[in-house]
Structure 1
Amino acid sequence: MAERLVAVGRERVLVTGAAGKIGRATVADLLAAGHEVVAVDRVEPAEDLGTEFVRLDGDDLAGTTAAVRGCTALVALASVPHPGTMPPHELFANNTVTPFVALQAAVDAGIRRVALASSGSAYGTAWSPEPTTVDEVPVHEGAPLRNAEEYGLSKMVTEEIGRMFCRRHPDLSVAALRFHWVATREEQLQRIASQRSAPRRWREELRELWGYVDLRDAARACRLAVEAAAREPYGFQAMNVVAADLLADEPLEELLAAHAPQVVVRSGGPPAGGAFSIQLAAEVIGWEPRHSWRDPD
């Protein structure tokens, strides 16, 4: 399916978490598409983002309200990106208060289009104590959310925050983007090289179900989520943002048969063989992954 073109005017987009990995890429993508960006983060970016930057904490409602004034859309990416960096209760508090504050400031300012950073960890993959917690593949957005640690739980709650705001504001569109491991091409190739040259770490690989998404594709999903809602509001939608293929040489059926035979393999997944359904993102916001670690240099 070709990417759907959405006719939108010049946006002024507030991007929270703009100094982070996805944030920097999203700012660059929005600017390249001709939009204006107000970049917000609690830390100074390592390099010039090429746009207005506001330093403030994610729980600063007054500061966020001031920063969002005059904006037409919100991309809320501010988040602690994985567990282990701080005590669990602090991570959970940060990752739930921050999106609530951003959404509150946005809707109070009249914004009705939001892209919200969720994660495949909401399913229980990536950081789960056990290697895998899914019943079947491809993993659809309606699969049970069986997270067993604070990061995945915080993302599940983040989605519920988005749902609540959509119930309160029926004209609001919120795309909760369930990113998988967001990686640059160099990081993808390093992971493949490690698989090929060292003993396989099957527990870790099973946790992630060999999923990933190229950083450029993740950034583009953020932009498309707010652009698509300008053409056709869609309420609350949680959608997978994952590459169409696996971060592995072997096919999915072979990997699961050998290491997780209890997982049922059904039809309807990406033709490239990935473990996650990405059809919903194509239907709602016109997003499809353009990049793979298999691409020629």
Structure 2
Amino acid sequence: MKIAVTGGSGRIGAYVVEELLAHGHEPVNLDRQFPQKRLCRTRIVDLLELGEVYGALQGAEAVIHLAGINAPGTYPNEKVVQLNVMSTYNVLEAAAGLGIAKAAIASSESIYGYCYAANRFAPYAIPVDESHPLLPQEGYGLSKIASEQTAAMFHRRCGMQVVSLRFGHVPLPDEYEWLARHEGASRFLWSYVDVRDAARAARLAVEADGAGCEALNITADDTCSPVDNAELLRRYYPSITDRYADLTGHAAWSDNAKAKRLLGWKPEHGWRHNRG
């Protein structure tokens, strides 16, 4: 299958390109710059220009949209919202116009709000599943809500299959030692997903048939903390009393069961045995 990958030169996109090639697909990278490793054809595209996106997606059978600003703080909030939302809209608008039936878009667990909240709060219950309220306090999380709603609109309009991938923190294989020491990990509930597992989820999302329009947590089965959950709860989140699963040991605080069920996906890499 010919699959367009926006942001294929980026940290996740480069692994997605490799994953697609390894499984017999024909990826085309759509980005603002060339990748470090040129594994497939790259087209330099401004995703804020709808005409350019139409031209770049010609001939594609599916699209994986990863391009955009991947965290708050680097750009002003209004820039984050503009770029992330309009790039998603243009990609899906062009895909719909060209009759492309399948898409996957990069979302984030930041959509739930607690990750980057100026006024910190605990999740309503753990593990956090896709039904948790969406409560961002900044432009990045807001942009993910708008992008997922854009996906839902195109699904209603033309039946396009769109899977929104709510990634946890995505480390590269050589970043595990840093991840385990990261002081801010409590903000994202020690949730992560290895970049190789993230890439596999993206591939499976466009290979799947009949997935409709869904948002899925794409996260590891364990936390990225060497401290066990009982101590993490006592130290950081003593107010959380609602627990829907056994969180003994280092079980993840993010529920990935829906992705396992709908995509046949499961995480295969974890920091405890895959540190770089």
User: TM-score, normalised to structure 1's length?
Assistant: 0.88
Q: Which residue of 1 aligns with 2:151?
A: 162
* Contact persistence 1:123–1:133 (CA under 8 A): no
**Structure 2 CA distance for aligned equivalents of residues 282 and 62 of structure 1:** 37
| Matched ranges for 1:185-264 at <5 A | 185-192=173-180, 194=181, 201=183, 204-229=184-209, 233-264=210-241
**Structure 2 CA distance for aligned equivalents of residues 158 and 41 of structure 1:** 19
In the TM superposition, residue 270 of structure 1 has moved relative to its aligned partner by 7.9
Structure 1 residue 56 and structure 2 residue 34: aligned? no
Structure 1 residue 184 and structure 2 residue 169: aligned? no
Q: Give unmatched runs, 5+ long, in structure 2.
A: none
* Contact persistence 1:13–1:37 (CA under 8 A): yes
**Structure 2 CA distance for aligned equivalents of residues 296 and 41 of structure 1:** 30
Structure 1 residue 77 and structure 2 residue 66: aligned? yes
Q: Give unmatched runs, 5+ long, in structure 1.
A: 1-10, 196-200
**Structure 1 CA distance for aligned equivalents of residues 246 and 85 of structure 2:** 31
Q: Which residue of 2 aligns with 1:282?
A: 260
* Contact persistence 2:161–2:211 (CA under 8 A): yes
Q: Which amino acid aligns with 1:221?
A: A
**Structure 1 CA distance for aligned equivalents of residues 242 and 251 of structure 2:** 11
Aligned with 2:32 (options 42, 47, 58): 42
Q: Give the secondary-structure state (helix, strand or coil) at the position aligned to 2:208.
A: helix
In the TM superposition, residue 268 of structure 1 has moved relative to its aligned partner by 3.1
Task: Say how many residue pairs are matched.
Answer: 274
**Structure 2 CA distance for aligned equivalents of residues 210 and 89 of structure 1:** 28
* Contact persistence 2:31–2:67 (CA under 8 A): yes
In the TM superposition, residue 269 of structure 1 has moved relative to its aligned partner by 6.2
**Structure 1 CA distance for aligned equivalents of residues 128 and 20 of structure 2:** 29
| Matched ranges for 1:131-146 at <5 A | 131-146=120-135
Deviates more, 1:270-279 or 1:24-33: 270-279
In the TM superposition, residue 261 of structure 1 has moved relative to its aligned partner by 1.1
Q: Which residue of 2 aligns with 1:8?
A: none
In the TM superposition, residue 206 of structure 1 has moved relative to its aligned partner by 2.2
* Contact persistence 2:171–2:179 (CA under 8 A): no
Q: CA RMSD in A?
A: 1.6
What fraction of aligned residue pairs are identical, expressed as a percent?
A: 36
Q: Give the secondary-structure state (helix, strand or coil) at the position aligned to 1:213.
A: coil
Please give the per-residue CA displacement for 1:249-297, whole angstroms capped at 9, x wherever unaligned.
1222321122211113423368860000100001111111000001166
Q: Give the secondary-structure state (helix, strand or coil) at the position aligned to 2:42.
A: strand
Q: Give the secondary-structure state (helix, strand or coil) at the position aligned to 2:273.
A: coil
Q: Which amino acid aligns with 1:247?
A: C
User: TM-score, normalised to structure 2's length?
Assistant: 0.94
Q: Give the secondary-structure state (helix, strand or coil) at the position aligned to 1:294.
A: helix
Structure 1 residue 148 and structure 2 residue 137: aligned? yes
Distance 1:254 1:16, change over 3 A: same
